[in-house]
Amino acid sequence: MGSLGVPELIIIFVVALIFFGPKKLPELGKSLGKGLAEFRRASNELRSTIEEEVRAIEAEPPAHQNSEPERDPSPKPNSETNPDDH
């Protein structure tokens, strides 16, 4: 899908002029411009916040994956059972 060319923009403008009228069209243009500016500002703010968080995470020292102390893998004899009892 391509970008809008001059003929397409003229058709959109004429349809908007017919639909909304010449008195409402400047007001709609101004509202649309304010909305786009607000969207762009919010988008830039979100992008900068995400970049700051990524930088903060990268700056942290690496943490250990397992916070539990390591256990001895060798089995320990159970003091309650006596092999001579069986």
Cα 11 from Cα 19, distance rounded (Å) = 12
Cα end-to-end distance, the chain, whole Å:
82
Q: Higher model confidence: residue 85 or residue 58?
A: 58
pLDDT in tens, 56-79: 998 887 766 555 555 656 666 555
Q: Which residues contact 17 (CB under 8 A, 6 or more apart)?
A: 25
**pTM, rounded to two decimals:** 0.49
Give mean pLDDT, residues 75-84.
Answer: 58
CA–CA separation, 79 and 41 (whole Å)? 69
- Asked if the model's pLDDT at residue 32 lies above 70, the reply is yes
Q: What are phi and psi of 72, to 5 degrees?
A: -75, 120
pLDDT digits (tens, 9 = 90+) for 8-21: 888 988 888 888 88
